[in-house]
Structure 1
Amino acid sequence: MIRRSILFCLMIVFAVSLCACHKENPDPSGQNPDSSPTPTTPDTVTIAPVISGGGINLVAKLIYTVDASTAKVVRSTVMVRDDTDITPALVIDCIVESLKDESLNLSFDGIEYSDGVCVVDFDDSIFTIAGKSADLEDAILDCIAQSVLDNVDGCMKIIYRIHNEAYSTVNRHFAYDFVYMDD
């Protein structure tokens, strides 16, 4: 008798939970007639500023970053103000922020840019990344170089160094002025 009572209670709880989760849809097509189609994202967007004084125009910029789980280069879009001077340091900062989302911490001793040549000087953080895998290291070097070449007007060459010396990790060794990528 007790067994039947418990079974009966469980069946009622199960039936109530199934019925309680059901939501009727008044529109059989499954679409809400009041909703409008999702707009596509334009290349330039105007937003209201936090401080008064007109709108701020944002421009979408394509950069490359890395999917840490696959060690593959992936495209990413960042929004910058249209009056922002796009420098190698700005582009690399965007990449570094994106890499943080992948739990990859990367920092630099410096980034120099003159006469169309960008010299990226890594600190010890590159050794941690290189120690994880050669593919991950290559993907990060590729995404930085390609993003800077694509977004910085006049940039034609990327050179990598570590502590202002020739780039040398467990996976890669480049001469002091070795051009990693050029336009």
Structure 2
Amino acid sequence: MVLSPRVQYRFPHYIFVDIGSTQHLMGGEMGCLEKALQIAAKFAPDASAAIGDTPAGAQMLAKWRPSHISLRGKEQESFKGLGLDALKDLEGLSPWAQKKPVEHMIAFFHTLGVYGLEGVLNFRLNSLRERWGILVFYFGIVCILRTLRSFHLLCLATLLWAMATWMIP
């Protein structure tokens, strides 16, 4: 409660704090991050933290880019250079029911020669239409538009993996 009244705990060891309205009290985002790490170090010496636009993005950044502060509205730019294994940590307030589907998705992308999140972010939606038809193309657009900013990456990855599962024997 020191950082914000808006705190969410998630098993086994995640704490998400909404600092949008309280960061100015601690000298901005950097001050909040430093204070969060001071508090966390009392409970776990190897604790990490990051600041992102979404809980899922912050969780992924805390693991793969500790102490990173993503610019407001530019969380996806912080994902550049990360490998596809980072998708396993793009959970947020609700954990994956199972990580196996995400691991299958990652393996599928590896077969396509995509090894980083940039490859997924830069994937052209038109190539879906060219390869698998107009229906799948529109499904991809709807899927992406229905999701939050950070989750469109995962939605696109899920869509591509699902299409490969359904259409490739």
TM-score, normalised relative to structure 1: 0.30
TM-score, normalised relative to structure 2: 0.32
Compare relative contact order (CA 8 Å, sep 6+) and give the higher one, 1 or 2.
1
Larger helix share, 1 or 2: 2
